[in-house]
Amino acid sequence: MFASHRRRARLLATTLLSSVAGVSLSALPAHAALGSVTSASLSGDTLTLTVGGDRLLVQALRPDIVKVDYRPGGVADPPTAVIDPAKTWATGNIISADMASNPIVVTTAQLTVKISRNPARLSVFDATGALVLSEQAAEGVYADGVKFNHGSGQAFYGITGNPVPWAEKDPKQNLAEGMQRNDGGRVNANMQGDGGAPLAFTHRYGLLVDSIDGDFAITDTTLEFSGVSTRNVAYYVLVGPPRQVMAGVAEISGKPALSPKWALGFNNSEWGTTQTEVTSIVQGYRDRKIPLDAFTLDFDFKAWGEDDYGEFRWNSTSASGNVHPNKFPSGAAGTFARDMAARGVMLMGIMKPRVIVGKAGGGITAQGQWARTNNCFYPGLADYNEYFSGRPANDVDFSKQTCRDWYWQHSRTLFDAGIAGWWNDEADEANGTLFNSLQHFNMQRSLYEGQRAVSDRRVFSLNRNFYLGAQRYGYGMWSGDIESGFGNMADQRTRMLTSINIGESKWGMDIGGFFGDPSSENYARWMQFGAFVPIYRVHGVDGKQRQPWVYGATAESAAKGAIELRSRLMPYLYAHERINHETGIGLVRPLFYDYPTDPNAANLTSEWMFGESLLVAPVVEQGAASKQVYLPAGTWIDYTRGSVYTGPLTFNYPVNASTWQDIPLFVKAGAILPTQEVLQYVSEKPVKQIDLDVFPTTARSEFTLYDDDGLTRAYENGVFFKQRITAQRTSTSVTVETQAKTGSFSPALTHYIVKVNATMGTAARINGTAPTRYGDLAALKAATGEGWTTGVDVYGPYTAVRVAAGVARTVVVDGTPSTPPPPPVTSVLEAEDAALSSGAIVQNDHPGYSGRGFVAGYWNSGATTTFTLQASTAGTYSATLKYSNGNGSARTLTMVVNGVRTQLTLPATADWNTWSTYTARIPLNAGTNTLAYVYGSGDSAHVNLDSLTIAP
């Protein structure tokens, strides 16, 4: 978005002008609350009730999902775009029904519905008999909404994402409050970077309403949805924990198609390029051995402004009106795209919802004339001068099939000449009008349906907002035109997780920020963060470059390491892409999805599960020497350092504030983690061998490896490779089983290296037979057949077995588990993350601190900073305090270790911008200890504290 355009959008967001083409929001007639049931009948899984002149249909779609459809006067509209029109449901879900009782009682294996007869009110209970939701006695369903009572003390999620900060106008939303939506909120998607879903859910259940837009009002005991967009009120109650609820929502609303494999790799987007420059940038990646899978082109690649459909042509011409002519001379012929594909780089191109209506020399363009004649302009939107060409334009009304077909007809020339992915921008507003919530949705629907009609290539897109249902159309989302800086980077974590909570599993952001100039450290840490989101892409405003080498050697090294790590994890990522397609549960999951009853996970946005087995807590704080991490219950292994932790545990994880290399990443015990060698792009060469890092436990664990051709829709017809792998430990051995593959695809893969961690095997067997033993891991990997070896790495002793892929194998490794390495004994704790009391405060007005600030306030008598320390063994440790004392003379402070007080004398520093350290030797007990710095009686204090380093 151009800068002046952004200022106009800010004004627009303030005025909240809105137009709603294609969405029925006409005033609904007033209707009294439901009266008494006059008749009831059951047919299959559907209960039909007559309530006066109205009808109430209750349908058990699944044992855990019930649909309620209130039809005033018996009238119902077709389902909205939220609902998957292709979905069919299995029958036989109702296991018992008492139609004669009051209330009427219908039961499935996972829920019970009770309907009182006078008045007609519905309640849902879970399998334990606990109440989920009950329609309010005074008024349950009504003309355009429904009111419920619910149990107190529940946190709510879903409803809406978070737009770019300046566009947030919902008074119920505050980015600082995290993922929870305990007050409710507006449901819409007409701000950039925003999203909406008529969905609210807790850790026990969810409520989905079939509506385009609306409003949730939530209190501690009530839940209401109002503003239903259809004449009937249809809602769904889903019973179960968050993952089950979200998978149910995907069944109702539709599951995402598989993205092409290249879309999971690294994507360089840039505005202000030429064919020559893009070629040079791509070569820069290849020369530096930095993986790159895609390049996204902005305005430059189009003949934008050129008379008569220039918006739909490659910029390979210089006819009248072209803003920057002939920037991509080989584009239209397809030569440029073929050259990029030969280098392993797929091209995405920007698409706008508008067409130019005024010719450069006067008169109306051909596309403008056609759209006007065929009523394909957005209702009520006057022509306006668009910012890139400065000429009159107008926006397409994508709610109409005719207009969608026409838009694809002309976009096809770009697809035929090599555009492999669509980047849809600005279908949220134009010139003082906020578009309806389905404008972006239907714009991508045009491209999705058009491309599928002419090609078996998978459809992939990026869009600037999301409304539930769009995921059916090859629909990814990015967070809009964000600013550079650590604070804005950190905000993207919450924005990602709230988008996932409304059903958008394919989310990304402009790494580095669209506006501004990130520092080298900001860029490096952002690239690490970006490696652990679904869509990994950099971008900046016109003329800004976001290649790793632009930001210096240190940032380049850190960024390259992050990109390479993502490349190694590609088998893991792609298996989860298949899980997303099958279940609707994406690669990134908020922590509470997997730990719904853990209060520490309920609103934690600083970390998330990255697939089934990895927990990541990216560093987003400037100058950080440590990162606070929370690990839920269970055993966790540091992916990089091998240390083993037992949760629940909150601790400060040391990171290097100079090299920026650290990514706090943890493996869940039981994981089967597939990795491959680093590739410069996903199809660089056949992957013949995959490493399976196994972290076995006494509970049986599993992972299903997945592959296909990565490009086409042949997988829809069974042309794929799936192999289920299980692992389990006993006191004397570990068993890993691979089942025979399913699917007709034959990948290049021939073998797995099954590395059983924390086990020095004494023997190994494959299907009961002892294979050849090799001298080390390198020799085993170079072997042509099956075999085994042992060794030691960061995770301790291991046993590795090379086994054929695609066939059934039982691998047994004899050996007892080794003692895991303890967590590192050196730890860095940020003072601002400690417990502060009696006037101690966090400030950041002096440079040179680590983390997000330092602790001041030691002019207040009694000011205290208390650290909680974990020691694996009892002993004497060094406690090094980083402090500043700009008073010009030494100052004293009291140190209290497990209740024992010692006065310290801290020498003066040159000024308040200068930091020094003071080391004391302290005794610590095995387990939990406390260390506090107190302005005590007899102290002179008046110092600032930055961090504490504990070492043996």
- Positions marked catalytic: 425, 428, 481
Nearest CA among 789, 868, 827 for reference residue 950: 827
Q: Kindly state the tokens that stand for 705.
A: 């490896």
Nearest CA among 736, 702, 751, 753 for reference residue 815: 736
CB burial string 526-541: b at 16+ within 10 A, e below: bbbbbbbbbbbbbbbb
CB 904 within 8 A of CB 880: no
Q: By three-state DSSP, how is residue 638 classified?
A: strand
Residue 344 CB neighbours (<10 A) = 21
CA distance 500 to 585: 9
Cβ partners under 8 Å of residue 432, min gap 6:
8, 11, 12, 15, 17
CB 699 within 8 A of CB 677: no
Query: Length of the chain in residues, anyone?
Result: 952
Cβ partners under 8 Å of residue 26, min gap 6:
none
Q: By three-state DSSP, how is residue 9 classified?
A: helix
Which burial class, exposed, middle or buried, applies to 449 when counting CB atoms under 10 A from its CB (0-12, 13-18, 19+)? middle
Own/partner long-range contacts of 552-557 (Cβ < 8 Å, ≥24 apart): 552/520, 554/520, 554/524, 554/658, 554/659, 554/660, 555/520, 555/521, 555/523, 555/524, 555/527, 555/660, 556/288, 556/290, 557/659, 557/661
CB 552 within 8 A of CB 659: no
Residue 417 CB neighbours (<10 A) = 22
CB 260 within 8 A of CB 286: no
* Longest pairwise C-alpha distance within the chain: 89
Establish whether the linkage from the previous residue to 823 is cis, with ω within 30° of 0. Answer: no
Cβ partners under 8 Å of residue 254, min gap 6:
84, 86, 87, 469, 471, 472
Give the phi and the psi of residue 835 in degrees, each rounded to 5: -80, 120
DSSP letter at 42 equals: E
CB 160 within 8 A of CB 181: yes
CA distance 647 to 848: 33
CA distance 709 to 712: 7
Q: Kindly state the tokens that stand for 313.
A: 């042509």
Helices vs strands, H then E, count in the chain: 13, 60
H-run or E-run covering 561: helix 552-568
Which sign does the torsion angle of CA 486, 292, 454, 318 carry?
positive
β-pairing, 466-467 vs 195-201, is: parallel
CA distance 737 to 813: 11
Helical pair 335-342 and 275-288, crossing angle rounded to 10 deg: 10
